[in-house]
Structure 1
Amino acid sequence: MDTTNAVETMSSDFPREIAPGVFWMGACLPFHLSDRVIHGHNSAYVVRGTDASVIVDTGNPSSWPTISKKLDEILGDEPLTYVFPTHPELPHTGNLPRLVEKYPEVKVIGDMHDYHLFYPQIVGNLHSKAPGDRIDLGGQELLIVEAMIRDLPNTQWAFAKEGGVLFTADGFCYMHRPELDDEDPLHLPGECALTTDELAKPIAVENAAFFTGSALYWARFNNDADRVYDRVLGLIDELGVQMVGPTHGNVITNIRAVEPIIRAGHKQAYRY
Structure 2
Amino acid sequence: MTNNLRDHVHASHEAQPTPRFGQTGTLPRAITPDCLWTGRCLASSVPDMHAHYSLYLLKGSEKTILIDTGHPIHWDPVRQDVEDFLQGRPLDYIFPTHSELPHSGLLERWMRAFPQAVAVGDMRDYPLYHPSLAPRFRQAEPGDSLDLGDRHFLFLPPVWRDLPDTLWGFDTKDRIIFLSDACAYFHAHVPGECDHLSSEIAPPDIAMMQDFNDKALHWPRFTDSHASFLEMDELLARLRPRLLAGAHGCVVDTPGDTMPLFKQGIAMDSVRA
TM-score normalised according to structure 1 size: 0.86
**Aligned with 2:151 (options 115, 131, 140):** 140
Does 2:211 correspond to 1:240?
A: no
> Residue 123 of structure 2 aligns to a residue in which SS?
coil
Alignment partner, residue 221 of structure 1 = 222
Does 2:88 correspond to 1:77?
A: yes
Alignment coverage as a number of residue pairs: 247
Alignment partner, residue 205 of structure 1 = 206
Q: CA deviation at 1:243?
A: 1.2
Indicate the RMSD between aligned Cα atoms, in angstroms.
1.7
Which amino acid is the alignment partner of residue 183 of structure 2?
F
Q: CA deviation at 1:205?
A: 0.4
C-alpha separation between the residues in 1 aligned to 2:186 and 2:48?
10
Q: CA deviation at 1:20?
A: 3.5
Alignment partner, residue 3 of structure 1 = none
> Residue 217 of structure 1 aligns to a residue in which SS?
coil
Alignment partner, residue 114 of structure 2 = 103
Alignment partner, residue 164 of structure 1 = 175
Structure 1, unmatched stretches of 5+, are 1-10, 180-186
- Deviation per CA, 1:139-163, whole angstroms, max 9, x where unpaired? 1211111111111111100001101
C-alpha separation between the residues in 1 aligned to 2:128 and 2:185?
30
Moved more, 48-57 or 133-142: 133-142
Q: CA deviation at 1:225?
A: 2.2
**Aligned with 2:98 (options 65, 78, 87):** 87
Does 2:20 correspond to 1:19?
A: no
C-alpha separation between the residues in 2 aligned to 1:118 and 1:96?
10
- Deviation per CA, 1:149-180, whole angstroms, max 9, x where unpaired? 1111111000011011000111101432224x
* Closer/same/farther in 2, CA of residues 32 and 130 from structure 1, 3 Å limit: closer
Q: Is the 8 A contact 2:25 2:194 kept in 1?
A: no
Q: CA deviation at 1:32?
A: 3.8
Q: CA deviation at 1:269?
A: 7.6
C-alpha separation between the residues in 1 aligned to 2:128 and 2:79?
25
Structure 2, unmatched stretches of 5+, are 1-23
Which amino acid is the alignment partner of residue 196 of structure 1?
S
C-alpha separation between the residues in 2 aligned to 1:32 and 1:15?
23
